[in-house]
């Protein structure tokens, strides 16, 4: 039977580093506040003059992942591009990446699931592979947040948490009798809380979609009810962990590394304690990158592989919650 296997990973961060102290030049905040409340010490942002979109960052990450998988662009059957900050309103960043890869007619699909983009993308890739429709899928999570943030005191609660970056994985359907690949996934959404974390304008439900008034009111910047999202994460992440473990017929002890979305270090520390998981089994890299949204989980996996925390035979549990509100978890096992 075909199993959905990750055969290459790659990440790319723009070179410009913005530390917490740098942010204090533009807004009333402090490095201590940011570090204490979020765990973040620095993030990477694209150059201020613009010209770099998620498809550019995604291209760099993809080339690394493809090299490791032994793929050329022509091997790709489908591109799935997860982002909340597409290069332009339309077409999707997947189409832009497809062209940058030198491809002429390979299908490209964007998914707009924010922090759970990688989870939804991996589950979608798994379904395509098991259906037999596509066999080699390039899944990219990439964001350029920095050009759309309110870099003043008004936007400080949201702005300090976001970083730019990309990660990519090559996914292949491989025949195996072993219990490997994507073992189970659980995805959820609750649109009731859409306005608790959103970026409203430009919006087709507004006429005009953007105006001086909208700009003055700052409705073109992301807005978040941080406390509500925080509390939802503390509740939903343990719930979805139990749900996905049951689906896979596994226990917590069977997981070698938990790779949560990197939204706030405190959320992940709370999760680790609630679930009674040994400290070293929950991966963190938010300190260096902030919240790169659709990129956080594959970026963390790529680092964990490089650090040799995981490798052949490792079982991983990816999980996250974010705008939508959406949340989910996927269990994945590398071949031994
Ligand atoms: N620097 C200094 N002070 C600040 C900052 C800042 N950057 N931001 C807020 N404050 C102040 C507030 O004004 C407030 O002051 P007051 O008490 O005088 O009114 C105080 O600090 C507390 O503010 P809160 O917003 O209540 O701070 P909180 O402890 O909730 O932390 C945070 C904010 C870090 C955003 C937190 O709520 C959080 O991480 N929430 C979850 C985020 C998340 O998981 N998002 C989902 C993923 S993102 C996605 O899907 C796109």
| CB 156 less than 6 A from any atom of ligand 1 | yes
Alpha carbon of residue 28 to chain centroid: 28
Dist. CA 311–CA 67, nearest whole Å: 18
**Helices first, then strands: H and E counts in the chain:** 11, 13
Query: Is any ligand 1 atom within 6 A of the Cβ of residue 115?
Result: yes
Query: Which residues make Cβ contacts (< 8 Å) with residue 247, sequence separation at least 6?
Result: 184, 185, 186, 331
* One domain for residues 148 and 44: yes
Report how far ligand 1's centroid is from the alpha carbon of 41 (Å).
Answer: 15
Q: What is the pLDDT of residues 177-214, one digit of tens each?
A: 999 999 999 999 999 999 999 999 999 999 999 999 99
How far is the centre of ligand 1, averaged over its atoms, from the C-alpha of 237 (Å)? Answer: 19
- DSSP letter at 45 equals -
For residue 264, what is the domain's CATH number? 3.40.47.10
- Return the residue whose CA atom lies nearest to atom 15 of ligand 1: 157
Last residue of a domain, one of 145, 175, 205: 175
Whole-Å CA distances, 300 to 102, 202, 259, 294: 28, 32, 7, 11
Minimal-distance CA residue to ligand 1 atom 3: 29
Q: CA quadruple 299, 303, 305, 309: dihedral positive or negative?
A: negative
User: Are residues 122 and 226 part of one domain?
Assistant: no
Distance 37 CA to ligand 1 centre (A): 7
Residue nearest to atom 50 of ligand 1 (CA): 322
The response to whether residue 231 sits with its C-beta less than 6 Å from ligand 1 reads no
Domain count, the chain: 2
Secondary structure percentages of the chain, helix, strand, coil, to 5: 40, 25, 35
CB distance 29 to ligand 1 below 6 Å: yes
Residue in 18, 112, 152, 226 to alter for ligand 1 test, most ligand atoms within 8 A of Cβ: 226
Write the residue with the smallest CA distance to atom 5 of ligand 1.
Answer: 157
Q: 74: pLDDT confidence band, cut at 50, 70 and 90?
A: very high
Same domain, 161 and 236: no
pLDDT of residue 212: 97
Contact 167, 289 (CB under 8 A): no
* 279 and 322 both lie in a single domain: yes
Q: How close is the Cα of 38 to the center of ligand 1, in Å?
A: 9
Q: Distance between CA atoms of 29 and 26, rounded to whole angstroms?
A: 9
The pLDDT score that the predictor gives to residue 180 is: 98
Q: Whose CA is nearest to atom 9 of ligand 1?
A: 157
Q: Is 304 in the pocket of ligand 1 (CB under 6 A)?
A: no
Q: Are residues 53 and 116 in the same domain?
A: yes
Do 210 and 112 fall within a single domain? no
9 and 125, same domain (yes or no)? yes
Answer yes or no: do 160 and 193 share one domain: no
Q: Are residues 72 and 134 in the same domain?
A: yes
- Tell me: do 36 and 165 sit in the same domain: yes
236 in the same domain as 220 = yes
Distance (Å, whole) CA 175 – CA 32: 51
Task: Using the 3D structure, point to which of 147, 175, 203 is the last residue of a domain.
Answer: 175
Tokens 């749900």 map to which residue? 243
Residue with the two structure tokens 């620095």: 42
> What integer best gives the mean pLDDT of the chain?
97
73's CB contacts (< 8 A; 6+ apart) are 66, 101, 102, 103, 106
Q: For residue 46, give every residue at least 6 positions away whose Cβ sits within 8 Å of its Cβ, in sequence order, or none.
A: 14, 16, 52, 57, 144, 146, 147, 164
Identify the band that residue 42 occupies on the pLDDT scale cut at 50, 70 and 90.
Answer: very high
Strands 42-44, 17-19: parallel, antiparallel or unpaired by DSSP?
Answer: antiparallel
DSSP, collapsed to helix, strand or coil, labels residue 149 as coil
CA atoms within 13 A on the CB side of 163: 32
Question: CA-to-CA distance for 157 and 34, rounded, in angstroms?
Answer: 9
Cβ–ligand 1 distance for 33 under 6 Å, the answer yes
- Answer with the one of 175, 197, 229 that is the final residue of a domain: 175
Q: Are residues 19 and 65 in the same domain?
A: yes
The residue-averaged pLDDT of 259-270 equals: 97
Query: What is the CB neighbour count within 10 angstroms for residue 308?
Result: 7
Q: Is 163 in the pocket of ligand 1 (CB under 6 A)?
A: no
Domain enclosing residue 249, as ranges: 181-333
Closest atom of ligand 1 to CA, residue 37: 34
Pocket of ligand 1 contains residue 20 by CB under 6 Å: no
- For ligand 1, say whether the CB of 196 is within 6 Å of any of its atoms: no
**pTM of this prediction?**
0.96
Atom of ligand 1 nearest to the CA of 159: 7
Any idea which residues carry the catalytic annotation? 115, 261, 291
């Amino acid at each position: 039977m075909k199993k959905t296997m990750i055969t290459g990973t790659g990440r790319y961060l723009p070179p410009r580093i913005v530390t917490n102290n740098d942010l204090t030049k533009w807004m009333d905040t402090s490095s201590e506040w940011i570090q204490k409340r979020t765990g973040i010490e620095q993030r990477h942002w694209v150059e201020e003059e613009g010209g770099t979109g998620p498809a550019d960052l995604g291209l760099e990450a993809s080339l690394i992942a493809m090299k490791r998988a032994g793929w050329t662009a022509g091997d790709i059957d489908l591109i799935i591009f997860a982002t909340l900050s597409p290069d332009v309103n339309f077409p999707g960043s997947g189409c832009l990446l497809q062209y940058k890869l030198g491809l002429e007619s390979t299908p490209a699909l964007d998914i707009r699931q924010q922090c759970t983009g990688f989870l939804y993308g991996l589950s979608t890739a798994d379904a395509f592979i098991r259906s037999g429709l596509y066999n080699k899928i390039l899944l990219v999570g990439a964001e350029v947040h920095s050009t759309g943030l309110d870099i003043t005191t008004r936007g400080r609660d949201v702005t300090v948490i976001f970083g730019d970056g990309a990660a990519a994985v090559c996914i292949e359907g491989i025949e195996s009798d072993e219990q490997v690949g994507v073992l189970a996934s659980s995805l959820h959404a609750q649109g009731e809380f859409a306005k608790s974390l959103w970026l409203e304008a430009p919006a087709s439900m507004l006429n005009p979609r953007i105006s001086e008034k909208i700009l003055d009111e700052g409705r073109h910047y992301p807005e978040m009810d941080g406390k509500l999202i925080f509390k939802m994460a503390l509740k939903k992440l343990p719930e979805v962990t139990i749900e996905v473990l049951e689906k896979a017929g596994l226990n917590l002890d069977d997981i070698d590394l938990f790779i949560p979305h990197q939204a706030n270090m405190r959320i992940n520390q709370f999760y680790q304690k609630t679930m009674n998981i040994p400290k070293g089994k929950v991966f963190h890299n938010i300190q260096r990158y902030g919240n790169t949204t659709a990129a956080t989980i594959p970026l963390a996996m790529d680092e964990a592989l490089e650090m040799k925390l995981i490798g052949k035979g490792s079982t991983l549990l990816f999980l996250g919650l974010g705008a939508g509100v959406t949340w989910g978890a996927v269990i994945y096992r590398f071949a031994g």
